[in-house]
Amino acid sequence: MNSLLIATTNPGKLNELRLFLGDLPLTLVSLTDAGITTYAEETGKTFAENAILKAKYYAEKSGFPTLADDGGFEIDALHGEPGVKSHRWVYGDRENTDEELIAHTMTRLNGTPEGKRGAQLRLVLALVTPDGKVYTAEEKVRGIIPLAPANKVTPGFPYRSLLYLPEINKYYNHDELTPEETDRYNHRKRALDKLRPILRGLLT
């Protein structure tokens, strides 16, 4: 059996990765499936450091090849904030709710003109293989932050309801994108595609 641990506590990420990996004959194992109840401390100063830290931690805990990611929202007018603090931006001592993060973003950008509301979602995927090798892939998707968020929020992905893609006149919510648009714009899928040759190697 070819198993791959998906090291995330975010149900939205887990579902998205399962969707994008559905064509590979891999048994995708969640942290719950693996009986893992402890969590890696994300002490890295970059997305890459945190992604690798998590992948190594959970690979050691589970004994499975492990895929982890770390990413966040980077707002031009705020000099790249919130970045690695994307999920603890409002209250640093706990994970923030989707609603808190959306409201805080809009408050911080209050008065920022439309022409200066550029932003991007960026992530790094890290894969640790059974022989201890570490592979990473990075991708991003750029857009703008309109004066109001989308009416719909995808649970676990608050910043997607803030990132608008002018070239297709849509917010970056997964359910709004066609399959073709997902192939073109989804940064997690594009990062995953870079790791596909390594993932296929797990099948041999």
pLDDT in 10s for each residue of the chain, 204 residues: 589 999 999 998 999 999 999 999 999 999 999 999 999 988 999 999 999 999 999 999 999 999 999 999 999 999 999 999 998 899 877 889 999 999 999 999 999 998 999 999 999 999 999 888 999 999 999 999 999 999 999 888 999 999 999 999 999 998 899 999 999 999 999 999 999 999 998 876
- The residue whose two tokens read 């923030």 is 96
d(CA 17, CA 14): 5
CATH code of the domain covering residue 23: 3.90.950.10
8 A C-beta contact, residue 5 and residue 34: yes
Q: How many CB atoms lie within 10 A of CB 156?
A: 17
- 83 — alpha (psi -120 to 50), left (phi > 0) or beta? left
Q: How many CB atoms lie within 10 A of CB 9?
A: 13
Question: Residue type at 28?
Answer: L
Question: Residue type at 48?
Answer: A
122, β-bridge pairs: 72, 140
Decide: residue 87, CB within 10 A, 0-12 exposed, 13-18 middle, 19+ buried: buried
- What is the 8-class DSSP label of residue 177? S
44 is in which domain, residue-wise?
3-201
8 A C-beta contact, residue 47 and residue 55: no
Q: How many CB atoms lie within 10 A of CB 173?
A: 16
Question: Tell me, what's the pLDDT at 204?
Answer: 67
| C-alpha distance from residue 201 to each of 19, 26, 194 (Å) | 20, 11, 13
Catalytic residues: 70
Q: Which of 142, 158, 156 is nearest to 105 (CA)?
A: 158
Question: Tell me, what's the pLDDT at 131?
Answer: 87
pTM over 0.95: no
Distance of CA 97 to the CA centre of its chain: 16
Counting the structural domains of the chain, the total is 1
